[in-house]
Chains A and B, each alone.
Chain A
Amino acid sequence: MPADMNPPISNAVAAAPLVPPSPMAELWRDFRLNRGAVAGLVLVITFLLLAILAGVISPHSPIEQYRDAILVPPAWEDGGSTKFLLGTDAVGRDMLSRLIHGTRLSLAIGLVSVGLSLSLGILLGLLAAWRGGKTDTAVMRMMDVLLALPSLLLAVAVIAILGPGLANAMYAIAIVMLPAFVRLTRATALGELQKDYVIASRIAGAGPLRLMCSTVLPNCVAPLIVQATLGFSTAILDAAALGFLGLGAQPPTPEWGSMLSGALEFIQSAWWVVSLPGFAILLAVLAFNLMGDGLRDALDPKLKR
């Protein structure tokens, strides 16, 4: 074949112009395909509505004690009454109202501790990534120390210093979750700092603070959202555990975990006192875990086609 022959192939390729979907639309498209994640989202929204409307929809006050209605079983059981749909506890408080108000409390605990931990974590993580060297080592060793303490044990240690109580439990949980946020922010930020566009904006004269806030941080958002969502489940679970041990929310606060503390003695007589609060915890934790897993899968570029 002569070398100077025209190739018989033309560049008659006309690719149809493709408009890439917006990132949010794309995220939603991927998220929607994951049935578990959608179930988690629906549950989370339900819990959110319950928490907001707790004062309106609760049939009773969560702490009012009906002395004539102690350990009334749920409405469908023998001896149950429609006045107390899910029965009453050992001092005659309405289980349903306490559970609904517990939603508000659990979400608030999640919000406060995740918020605290996230903001401090981003700060420390960016600091470590930006300053590098000794600052980096110091921050990361501090996180290693926190990680060496089993989560609940660390929370217990913090409570030992601060004393039992709901607010202290939230601080304790925020400290427990801190290493995850710091490590994640630092790792992502370090990854971004090496990329060409960051180097380009550095050459263009962007200051370190500006660089961190405007270019690096937005790229850390996706993994941090996932971690924060999963953090909600950790916070709810640990707060309930502390409440159960009597180290978190104190009576008569309608917190799910503290509702279970001392429930062991009713295990034979009043199953509803034992099973309902735990079921609420499980559902809430499961909801956030499902949603977090779904978000991670939807945000993970490796899994995308």
Chain B
Amino acid sequence: MITFILRRLAVVIPTFIGITLLVFALIRLIPGDPVEAMSGERGMEPERYAALIAQYGLDRPLPVQYVDYVAKAARGDLGRSIVTHEPVLREFLDRFPATLELSLCAIVFALCLGIPAGIIAALRRNTVVDYSVMGVSLTGYSMPIFWWALLLILFFSVHLGWTPVSGRLAIEYDPARVTGMMLIDTLLSDDEGAFLSALSHLILPTIALGTIPLATLARMTRSAMLEVLGEDYVRAARARGLSPLRVVVRHALRNALIPVITVIGLQVGTLLAGAILTETIFSWPGIGKWMVEAIHRRDYPVVQGGILMSATLVILVNLIVDLLYGAANPRIRHAR
């Protein structure tokens, strides 16, 4: 297990260094002047220009600048937004709980529907049930989620009037911010109306964001289950007179879920990418919307910081998932 962890780290660390290089290079690759790009000021006085060059350390050699950048980033200094002049990290942390809450809801939604759907499809292989599950999930997988979100709004908000169109909470509520996650904060504020409001605001974004992971999980679970159901040990378990439920849950599912864990990890990327679209449509104040706005405003420090933080998140979650995978698999857990 320790060798396994070390081997994972040996891949993760260079990747992380690569990310910092990429992000560092980003602002210097932008056509035009990096000073203008970083400060957001144009046509400034020569003295101010020189001062900024010194401030950003642009007069020093590139390797020194890079080391400086990484050192600052390691201390949590990701620069300041050109537009708001707030530290980028603070802005990120302000918005991150909203994205986290939405993503967690989406992945739970995807897990709760996708895994059972995949199992049922595998158990009813080549029947109408299987074909329907697979047809629906391929459609979900092919769905442009920004359009899917619009359709959901059109039907549930406009046509039926069941759910709100955008935002996280009705305007009359203002719970104290504790975790930044509205469901938890409204629960803590002990106001049932606020909690229900937060919940109803979450429903459509959750469905929109969870659809692609849902479809992916259903497809993966089905194929993993089919593979495992054909294994000798499943047949041997049946030959020992174990009930179908026990065979499926204890013997087949346990093994089929091991590869599915990896797929769940890969969904973090899908979720963050999807958050860009979902948050834009539902005016959800998370990091996806923040970054799109930053690009439109040419707020490069924010873009830079956002990319760094998102990539770090993806790498970390995948590392954790890899380690979980190792822990779930006796072959790896007991390897010396």
Direct touching of A and B (C-beta under 8 Å): yes
Interface, chain A (partner B; CB < 8 A): 36, 141-142, 144-145, 148-153, 156-157, 159-161, 163, 233, 237, 240-241, 244-247, 257, 260, 263-264, 267-268, 271, 274-275, 277-279, 281-282, 285-286, 289-290, 293
Nearest chain A CB to B74 CB, angstrom units: 18
Other 18 A-B pairs with CB < 8 A, given A144-B11, A145-B15: A144-B18, A148-B315, A148-B318, A149-B314, A150-B272, A150-B310, A152-B276, A156-B291, A156-B295, A157-B307, A160-B30, A160-B300, A245-B276, A263-B150, A264-B153, A267-B153, A278-B150, A289-B142
Nearest chain A CB to B27 CB, angstrom units: 9
Does the CB pair A278–B15 fall under 8 Å?
Answer: no
Does the CB pair B142–A245 fall under 8 Å?
Answer: no
User: Which bracket fits the contact residues of B?
Assistant: 35 or more
- Please, how many angstroms separate the alpha-carbon atoms of A5 and B296 in the complex? 92
What chain B residues lie within 8 Å of A267 (beta carbons)? 150, 153-154, 158
Q: Is B186 an interface residue (CB 8 A)?
A: no
The dominant DSSP class at the A interface is helix
Residue of B135, B153, B272, B273 with most partner-chain A CB within 10 A:
B273
Residue of B29, B151, B277 with most partner-chain A CB within 10 A:
B151
- Please, how many angstroms separate the alpha-carbon atoms of A185 and B26 in the complex? 28
Known A157-B303, A267-B158: A152·B295 in contact at CB below 8 Å: no
Tell me the total A-B contact number using a CB cutoff of 8 A.
135
- Please, how many angstroms separate the alpha-carbon atoms of A37 and B272 in the complex? 31
**Proximity bits, B254-283, A CB within 8 Å = 1, else 0:** 000000000000001111111011001100
Does the CB pair A285–B307 fall under 8 Å?
Answer: no
Q: Is B144 an interface residue (CB 8 A)?
A: yes
Q: Is B183 an interface residue (CB 8 A)?
A: no
- Please, how many angstroms separate the alpha-carbon atoms of A142 and B251 in the complex? 39
- Please, how many angstroms separate the alpha-carbon atoms of A280 and B316 in the complex? 37
What chain B residues lie within 8 Å of A279 (beta carbons)? 147
Does the CB pair B269–A150 fall under 8 Å?
Answer: yes
Q: Is B141 an interface residue (CB 8 A)?
A: yes
Known A150-B310, A152-B276, A160-B300: A282·B15 in contact at CB below 8 Å: no
Does the CB pair A282–B150 fall under 8 Å?
Answer: no
Does the CB pair A153–B26 fall under 8 Å?
Answer: no
What chain A residues lie within 8 Å of B109 (beta carbons)? none
**Proximity bits, B143-182, A CB within 8 Å = 1, else 0:** 1101110110110001000000000000000000000000
Does the CB pair B147–A281 fall under 8 Å?
Answer: yes
Q: Is B31 an interface residue (CB 8 A)?
A: yes
- Please, how many angstroms separate the alpha-carbon atoms of A163 and B31 in the complex? 9
What chain A residues lie within 8 Å of B104 (beta carbons)? none
Does the CB pair A145–B144 fall under 8 Å?
Answer: no
What chain A residues lie within 8 Å of B147 (beta carbons)? 260, 274-275, 277-279, 281-282
What chain A residues lie within 8 Å of B63 (beta carbons)? none
Q: Is B52 an interface residue (CB 8 A)?
A: no
Closest residue of chain A to B266, judged by CB?
Answer: A147
Nearest chain B CB to A276 CB, angstrom units: 10
Known A144-B18, A160-B295: A149·B311 in contact at CB below 8 Å: yes
Q: Is B234 an interface residue (CB 8 A)?
A: no
What chain A residues lie within 8 Å of B154 (beta carbons)? 267, 271, 274-275
A-B contact pairs, 10 of them (CB 8 A): A149-B314, A244-B144, A263-B150, A267-B150, A267-B153, A267-B154, A275-B147, A275-B151, A279-B147, A289-B138
Does the CB pair A237–B144 fall under 8 Å?
Answer: yes
Interface, chain B (partner A; CB < 8 A): 11, 14-15, 18-19, 22, 26, 29-31, 135, 138-139, 141-144, 146-148, 150-151, 153-154, 158, 268-274, 276-277, 280-281, 291-292, 295-296, 300, 303, 307, 310-311, 314-315, 318
What 3 pairs between A and B have smallest CB-CB spacing? A278-B147, A145-B18, A152-B273
Does the CB pair B276–A161 fall under 8 Å?
Answer: no
Does the CB pair B142–A153 fall under 8 Å?
Answer: no
What chain B residues lie within 8 Å of A150 (beta carbons)? 268-273, 310, 314
Which single member of A141, A244, A268, A290 contacts B14 (CB below 8 Å)? A141
Closest residue of chain A to B141, judged by CB?
Answer: A289
Does the CB pair A281–B144 fall under 8 Å?
Answer: yes
Closest residue of chain A to B274, judged by CB?
Answer: A152
What chain B residues lie within 8 Å of A149 (beta carbons)? 19, 269, 307, 310-311, 314
Does the CB pair B142–A148 fall under 8 Å?
Answer: no
Does the CB pair A160–B303 fall under 8 Å?
Answer: yes
What chain B residues lie within 8 Å of A277 (beta carbons)? 147
What chain A residues lie within 8 Å of B158 (beta carbons)? 267-268
Which single member of B142, B270, B311 contacts A286 (CB below 8 Å)? B142
Which single member of B19, B150, B296 contacts A148 (CB below 8 Å)? B19
Closest residue of chain A to B15, judged by CB?
Answer: A144
Does the CB pair B19–A264 fall under 8 Å?
Answer: no
Closest residue of chain A to B146, judged by CB?
Answer: A244
Closest residue of chain A to B212, judged by CB?
Answer: A237
Closest residue of chain B to A149, judged by CB?
Answer: B311
What chain B residues lie within 8 Å of A161 (beta carbons)? 26, 29-30
What chain A residues lie within 8 Å of B22 (beta carbons)? 145
What chain A residues lie within 8 Å of B151 (beta carbons)? 274-275, 278
What chain A residues lie within 8 Å of B291 (beta carbons)? 153, 156
Nearest chain A CB to B101 CB, angstrom units: 18
Does the CB pair B18–A153 fall under 8 Å?
Answer: no
Nearest chain A CB to B288 CB, angstrom units: 9
What chain B residues lie within 8 Å of A246 (beta carbons)? 296
- Please, how many angstroms separate the alpha-carbon atoms of A275 and B152 in the complex? 11
